[in-house]
């Protein structure tokens, strides 16, 4: 695994800028990999790891970079909980660790760099120096990953009889004998709404 400086450089390139969130994400991923004993997540160990992220912010890009977990590989799972947290799961052992950024790390950044006026810069500098224990809370957890969510699995595919769209990985539900996609089964939960036709 590359040094933290090299990973931060790569994160900056991939994300478009370096910020405190990127530092937290790199540190969080390195800590998770260390706790699980995964040394080469983007190489020899690439099929061992699934990562759940709980926020769609800068740290998530850094976590994906360090772990090699991607949505397209089905190894990165997003849970929109708005928390600066991630869970790292070793598929070979079943071990998992959930790591959460501590709220008081912002106060520690202020104490460590009181002369730095820019809050973001203060956090960026401090998050590189603070210990894992000062930045994060960790907890060993169990994650039951359904076989339909495992990386590499192609899964079943159906065509929704209402919208005609293909549905993969068992993301459908049976209603009155019809296998419906989730957006047809529960239209009130769609993130999109059809536009009214122009008159």
**What is the mean predicted confidence (pLDDT) over 166-193?**
88
CATH number belonging to domain 4-149: 3.30.1330.130
Candidates 45, 34, 52; CA nearest to 143 is 52
- Rounded Cα gap, residues 161 and 143, in angstroms: 33
Segments making up each domain of the chain, as ranges: 4-149, 157-189
Candidates 21, 61, 18, 35; CA nearest to 5 is 18
Q: 149: number of CA atoms within 13 Å, CB side?
A: 13
Of residues 171 and 57, more confidently modeled: 57
* Cα–Cα separations (whole angstroms), residue 95 to 8, 35, 51, 117: 27, 9, 12, 42
Fold match flag (4-149 vs 157-189)? no
Residue-wise pLDDT for 37-46, tens only, equals 999 999 999 8
DSSP string, 53-67: E---SHHHHHHHHHH
Judged against a pLDDT cut of 60, whether residue 16 lies above it is answered with yes
Contact 14, 50 (CB under 8 A): no
**What is the mean predicted confidence (pLDDT) over 120-131?**
91
- Say what the pLDDT of residue 150 is: 85
- Which fold is adopted by the domain 157-189? Wheat Germ Agglutinin (Isolectin 2); domain 1 (3.30.60)
Residue-wise pLDDT for 141-169, tens only, equals 999 998 878 887 667 788 999 999 999 88
CB atoms under 10 Å from CB of 127, counted, come to 25
DSSP 194: P
């Amino acid at each position: 695994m590359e040094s933290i400086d090299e990973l931060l450089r790569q994160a900056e390139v991939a994300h478009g800028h370096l910020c405190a969130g990127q530092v937290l994400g790199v540190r969080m991923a390195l800590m998770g990999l260390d706790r699980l004993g995964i040394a080469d997540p983007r190489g020899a160990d690439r099929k061992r790891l699934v990562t759940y992220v709980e926020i769609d912010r800068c740290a998530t890009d850094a976590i994906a970079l360090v772990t090699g977990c991607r949505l397209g590989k089905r190894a990165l799972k997003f849970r929109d909980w708005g928390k600066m947290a991630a869970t790292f799961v070793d598929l070979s052992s079943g071990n998992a660790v959930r790591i959460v950024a501590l709220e008081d790390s912002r106060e520690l950044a202020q104490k460590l760099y009181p002369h730095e006026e820019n809050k973001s810069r203060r956090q960026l500098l401090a998050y590189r120096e603070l210990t894992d224990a000062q930045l994060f809370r960790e907890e060993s957890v169990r994650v039951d990953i359904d076989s339909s969510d495992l990386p590499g699995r192609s899964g079943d595919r159906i065509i929704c009889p209402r919208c005609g769209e293909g549905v993969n990985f068992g993301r459908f539900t049976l209603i009155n004998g019809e296998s419906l996609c989730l957006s047809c089964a529960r239209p009130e939960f769609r993130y999109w709404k059809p536009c009214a036709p122009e008159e």
